[in-house]
């Protein structure tokens, strides 16, 4: 993250690490660090930066909700100017990957 911040001339003001996962309407209730990061970003009027989209969420509805509410976030792996359409595509791929992982784990594969 620091290399990305340096390359983009960003200043990292806080870091949050989340170990919980969550999807659906109550995702933020199960992810207190993400909730705190969103609150701080809003207060500071700045973006949240995540290394990869699936670290933010592997739920299209959640990602789409952030976008529709104009919550500023940047995915370092995709660059600061990634097209919103592409974010939706990557979110759908991440969600499908989560589904595949669950199916494989339930079947004893993987």
Closest to 72 in 3D by CA, of 41, 28, 39: 41
Average pLDDT, the chain: 88
Residue 51 · residue 33 · CB < 8 Å: no
pLDDT at residue 102, rounded to an integer: 73
Of the chain, the end-to-end C-alpha distance in Å amounts to 30
> pLDDT (tens digit, 9 = 90+) per residue, 30-79?
899 999 999 999 999 999 999 999 888 888 999 999 999 999 999 999 99
Between 52 and 109, the more confident residue is 52
Three-state DSSP state, 15: coil
Return the higher-pLDDT residue of 52 and 26: 52
pLDDT at residue 110 greater than cutoff 60:
no
How many C-beta atoms lie closer than 10 Å to residue 50's C-beta? Answer: 21
State if pTM tops 0.85. no
């Amino acid at each position: 993250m620091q290399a990305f911040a340096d390359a983009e001339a960003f200043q990292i003001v806080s870091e949050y690490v989340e170990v919980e996962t969550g999807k659906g309407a109550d995702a933020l209730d199960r992810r207190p660090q993400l909730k705190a990061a969103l609150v701080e970003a809003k207060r500071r009027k700045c973006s949240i930066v995540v290394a990869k989209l699936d670290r933010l969420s592997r739920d299209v509805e959640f990602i789409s909700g952030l976008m529709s509410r104009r919550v500023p976030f940047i995915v370092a792996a995709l660059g600061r100017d990634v097209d919103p359409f592409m974010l939706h595509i990557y979110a759908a791929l991440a969600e499908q990957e989560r589904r595949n992982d669950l199916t494989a784990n339930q079947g004893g594969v993987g």
